[in-house]
Amino acid sequence: MFEVILFLIPSSLIIIGALIVIFAKNPVHNAMGLVMTLVSIAIIYITLNATFVAMVQMLVYAGAVMTLFLFVIMMIGVDKKEQSKESIKGQTFLVSGVFLILISTLVYVAISSEFRWDLWFDAVEFTVEGTPQLIAGTLFTSWIFPFEIISILLIVATAAAIALAYDTQRKKEDA
């Protein structure tokens, strides 16, 4: 019973957050709805015993990515009127068609499997104590080289960003 409650509360919060993202008029409210969704997903990860993934979810998505979103919203300006004009021809029609197909596939799979939820994989009793230790164990032994190499990726991304962004700033100073 306790597990069901632990599942139901965050999952309903996820859906409410997603609905806020879609329907709220104010962009800041949209962003906050997204934060709600992401945090609730992190709670579900914890109930599934994946503490490391939950922490990464909180730090990266709810922390860093959402801050970026808010930065962009603040830069563009909150009070700007929403542009709800269709930019692609027949956008509504296409999206609703894809949505209908998705829903009907889901319903078909659910009905044909007689509402069993373990479609492909059998339910397993899988309890691992403390995933961070396990991840660190492999990450710092057999995966040490890829782990270190990612630092080159970071340097490259930084250098690329500076190389592309630097020029415009100089021009502004000149003008």
Partner 1 sequence: MNNISEILGINFVVIGPTLVLLFTTIVLLFCTITISTPVYIKKLITFLGIIATLFSIFLKFGLFARDGITSYFSEKILLDEFSLVGNVLIGLVLFLTFNSFWKTSEEIDSKTTEALILILMSASGFLLMVDAENFIMLFIGLEIGSISLYALAGLNRGDQLSNEASLKYFLLGSLASCILIYGIALLYVSLSISGVYETSIAISFIGPENVPLTSFIGLIMIIVGLLFKVAAAPFQAWAPDVYQGSPTGYVGYMASVAKVASFIVLARLSAVSLRFILEKFNLFFGTVIILSVLLGALFATNQNDIKRLMAYSGVIQSGFILSGISSGVLGISASIFYLITYIIQLIGVFTVFSIISGQLSSNFEISNLSGLGKENKFLTLTFSTFMLGIAGLPLTSGFVSKFILITNLWSYEKYLIVIVLMLSTVAGFYFYLKPIWVAAIEKSDNSVEKIKISISDKFLLGFMATLTIYFGLLPDTLVNITQWMIENYL
Write out the two tokens for 147.
């782990």
The dihedral region occupied by 119, where left means phi > 0, alpha psi between -120 and 50, and beta the remainder, is alpha
Distances (CA, A) of 126 to 9, 56, 120: 23, 21, 17
76 near partner 1, judged by CB under 8 A: no
159 near partner 1, judged by CB under 8 A: yes
112 near partner 1, judged by CB under 8 A: no
157 near partner 1, judged by CB under 8 A: yes
In the complex, what is the shortest distance from the CB of residue 10 to partner 1, in angstroms, rounded to a whole number?
25
Residue with tokens 């890829």: 146
Give the nearer residue to partner 1 in terms of CB position, either 112 or 142. Answer: 142
* Cα dihedral 118, 121, 125, 126 in deg (nearest 10): -130
146 near partner 1, judged by CB under 8 A: yes
Q: Which residues bind partner 1 (CB under 8 A)?
A: 141-146, 149-150, 152-153, 155-157, 159-164, 166-168, 170
